[in-house]
Amino acid sequence: MALLYVTFSFQHQTKCPPQKSKRQLEMDTLSKQSRKLKKQIRAANSEKTNGLLVIWRQLKARHSALSRAESVRKKRSQKKKNQERFVRYPFKFARQLFQQPKSGTLTVDRKELETHLKKTYSDPTREIPLEESTGLVWPADPGIKFDSKASKLTGNHSTSKQS
C-alpha cells in the first residue's frame, strides 16, 4: 500500500482594484472631455465660445445625472450591507452605532494616570463614618406583619369558583 503525500502552498494574491462599471468609465471620459473643452473655450475666439459652452453644459448635465445615479447605487448597496450586518449580528451592529471612534494614543505613564484617576474619582473621607442626620424621618412599624409563607391552594380555589 503506497502512501501519497500532497502539499499545498498558498500564495497571497494581491488584490486588484475593482473594475469600473460602464457608468464610472463614462463619467471619467466625460470629465476628461469637459476639461479639454474648458481649455478650448479659453483659447477660442468669441464666435466659437458660445457653441463650445453649449456642448460643455450638455457634458456637465450628463455627468451630473450619471453621478446622481452612481450615488443612489452606492447608497442602495450600503443599505443592503447594513441590513445584512444587522440581521447577522444585531447586538454588535447596535454597539457599533453608539461607540465613539477611538482617536489618539495615550502618552502618559501608568503611575501618573493612576494618581490622576485616584485624585479625581476617589473620596478621601470615605472611611469616616457618617453622622446622624436629624432631617431623616423613619416610618412607623407596620400594623400587620408580612406573611412570607407559601400561598395556600384553598384560597385560590374559592376565588376561582366565584369568578
Q: What's the number of domains the chain is made of?
A: 1
Confirm whether 64 is domain-assigned. yes
CA distance 136 to 155: 40
Q: All 3 cell numbers of residue 117? A: 484617576
Confirm whether 154 is domain-assigned. no
Q: How many CB atoms sit inside 10 A of residue 59's CB?
A: 19
Query: Residues 59, 30: contact at Cβ < 8 Å?
Result: yes
Residue 91: pLDDT band (50, 70, 90) is: very high
Confirm whether 50 is domain-assigned. yes
Confirm whether 10 is domain-assigned. no
Query: Residues 70, 24: contact at Cβ < 8 Å?
Result: yes
Taken in order 62, 67, 72, 74, is the CA torsion positive or negative? positive
In terms of residue numbers, what domain contains 58?
Answer: 22-97
The pLDDT value recorded for residue 135 is 85
Confirm whether 131 is domain-assigned. no
Residue 100: pLDDT band (50, 70, 90) is: confident
pTM: 0.50
Confirm whether 41 is domain-assigned. yes
Confirm whether 35 is domain-assigned. yes
Confirm whether 86 is domain-assigned. yes
More reliable by pLDDT, 109 or 1: 109
CA distance 110 to 10: 43
Query: Residues 52, 37: contact at Cβ < 8 Å?
Result: yes
Percent of the chain with pLDDT over 90: 54
